[in-house]
Amino acid sequence: MTKKEYGILSLPVIVGSLGFFVDIYDLLLFNIVRKKSLAELHVPDALAKEFGESVVSWQMLGLVVGGILWGMLGDKKGRKSVLFGSILLYSAATVANGFVQNVEQYTILRFVAALGLAGELGASITLVSEMLPKDKRGIGNSIIATSGVFGTIAAYYVYALSGENWRLCYYIGGTMGFMLLFLRVGVLESTMYDAAKKQSTTMGNFAMFFTNKERFWRYFRSILIGLPVWFVIGVLISFSDEFAKAFHITGFDQPKALMLQYVALTFGDMGAGLMSNYLKSRKKTLLIYYSILSVFIALFFVLKGGGSATNMYLLCMGLGFGSGISVLYITMSAEQFGTNLRATAAISIPNLVRGFLPLIILLFKFLRSASVLNNYVSAAWVTAIIVIITGLVSVLFTKETFNKDLDFVEG
111 Cβ neighbours under 8 A, 6+ residues apart: 58, 59, 61, 62
Residue 29 phi, psi dihedral angles, 5° rounding: -60, -40
Structure confidence at residue 219 (pLDDT): 94
- Return the domain boundaries, the chain: 11-184+210-396
Least confident residue range of 182-196, 248-262, 323-337:
182-196
The stretch 334-350 carries a mean pLDDT of: 89
pLDDT digits (tens, 9 = 90+) for 358-378: 889 889 988 888 666 778 899
Alpha-carbon Rg for the chain in angstroms: 20
Contacts of 196-204 with C-beta under 8 Å, sequence gap 24+, read 196/338, 196/339, 196/340, 196/409, 199/409, 201/340, 201/409, 202/340, 203/75, 203/76, 203/340, 204/71, 204/72, 204/73, 204/74, 204/75, 204/76, 204/340, 204/341, 204/343, 204/344
> If pLDDT is split at 50, 70 and 90, which confidence band does 301 have?
very high
Structure confidence at residue 106 (pLDDT): 93
* pLDDT higher than 90, residue 81: no
* pLDDT higher than 60, residue 317: yes
> If pLDDT is split at 50, 70 and 90, which confidence band does 2 have?
very low
Task: Give Cα separations from 157 to 148, 164, 243, 265 (angstroms).
Answer: 14, 9, 24, 18
The stretch 228-233 carries a mean pLDDT of: 92
User: May I ask the CATH class of domain 11-184+210-396?
Assistant: mainly alpha
Pick from 341, 232, 276, 296: nearest CA to 135: 276
The stretch 282-291 carries a mean pLDDT of: 95
Task: Give Cα separations from 9 to 3, 5, 40, 128, 193 (angstroms).
Answer: 18, 12, 43, 11, 21
d(CA 171, CA 161) in angstroms, rounded, equals: 14
Structure confidence at residue 1 (pLDDT): 40
Q: What is the DSSP string of 197-260?
A: HHSS---S-GGGGGSSHHHHHHHHHHHHHTHHHHHIIIIIITTHHHHHHHTT--S--HHHHHHH
Model pTM? Answer: 0.83
Give per-residue burial for 278-293: e unless 16+ CB within 10 Å, then b. Answer: eeebbbbbbebbbebb
> If pLDDT is split at 50, 70 and 90, which confidence band does 262 have?
confident
- Mean of per-residue pLDDT scores for the chain: 87
pLDDT digits (tens, 9 = 90+) for 61-70: 898 999 999 9
47 Cβ neighbours under 8 A, 6+ residues apart: none
The stretch 307-321 carries a mean pLDDT of: 95
